[in-house]
Amino acid sequence: MTVTAPAGMSSRDAEGRAQPASPDTQGAGGARPLVEVHDLAKTFDVSAPWLNRVIERKPRQFVHAVDGVSFAIQRGRTLALVGESGCGKSTVARLLVGLYAPTRGQVQFDGQDTAALSGAPLRALRRRMQMIFQDPYASLNPRWKVLDIVAEPLREHGLLPDADAQRARVAELLQSVGLAAADVEKFPHQFSGGQRQRISIARALATQPEFLVCDEPTSALDVSVQAQVLNIMRDLQRERGLTYLFISHNLAVVRHVSDEVGVMYLGRLVELAPKAELFARPRHPYTRMLLDAIPDIRMTGRARTPVQGEVPNPLNPPAGCAFHPRCPHANARCASERPSLQLLKGIRVACHAVEEGRI
> What pLDDT is attached to residue 277?
92
The predicted-structure confidence for 125-172, as pLDDT tens digits, reads as follows: 989 999 998 888 888 999 999 999 999 999 988 888 889 999 999 999
More confident position, 292 or 71: 71
Indicate the DSSP class of residue 328: T
- Nearest partner of 290 among 95, 85, 13, 84, judged by Cα: 84
- Domain coordinates in residue numbering, the chain: 70-100+117-143+187-308+317-355
> What pLDDT is attached to residue 220?
75
Confidence of residue 13 (pLDDT cuts 50, 70, 90): very low
The least confident of 11-20, 34-43, 309-318 is: 11-20
The least confident of 5-9, 89-93, 245-249, 311-315 is: 5-9
> What pLDDT is attached to residue 8?
36
> What pLDDT is attached to residue 310?
75
> What pLDDT is attached to residue 295?
67
Rounded to 10 degrees, what is the CA torsion of 158, 159, 161, 167?
Answer: -130
Rounded to 10 degrees, what is the CA torsion of 32, 270, 9, 334?
Answer: 160
Alpha-carbon distance values, 333 to 11, 132, 321, 348 (Å) = 21, 41, 9, 20
> What pLDDT is attached to residue 338?
93
Please state the rounded mean pLDDT for residues 186-193: 93
Please state the rounded mean pLDDT for residues 264-290: 92
- Nearest partner of 109 among 4, 40, 32, 203, judged by Cα: 32
Whether the CB-CB separation of 80 and 92 falls below 8 Å is answered with no
Amino acid making up residue 329: H
Using the CB atoms, write b or e for 327-354: b if 16+ within 10 Å: bebbeeebeeebbebbbbeebbbbbbbb
d(CA 66, CA 38): 12
245 three-class SS: strand
d(CA 203, CA 194): 14
- The mean pLDDT of the chain is 86
Confidence of residue 284 (pLDDT cuts 50, 70, 90): very high
Handedness of CA 194, 196, 197, 198 (dihedral sign): positive
Indicate if the pLDDT at residue 263 is higher than 70.
yes
Confidence of residue 294 (pLDDT cuts 50, 70, 90): confident
Whether the CB-CB separation of 70 and 63 falls below 8 Å is answered with no
Whether the CB-CB separation of 246 and 218 falls below 8 Å is answered with no
CATH number of 70-100+117-143+187-308+317-355: 3.40.50.300
For the chain, percent helix, then strand, then coil, each to nearest 5? 35, 20, 45
The predicted-structure confidence for 40-91, as pLDDT tens digits, reads as follows: 999 999 999 999 999 999 899 999 999 999 999 999 999 999 988 888 999 9
d(CA 77, CA 71): 13
Q: Tell me the percentage of the chain whose pLDDT exceeds 90.
A: 57
- Nearest partner of 178 among 141, 229, 227, 144, judged by Cα: 229
Confidence of residue 299 (pLDDT cuts 50, 70, 90): low
Indicate if the pLDDT at residue 22 is higher than 60.
no
> What pLDDT is attached to residue 134?
85
d(CA 247, CA 263): 10
A 10 A CB-CB count for 159 gives 16
> What pLDDT is attached to residue 305?
60
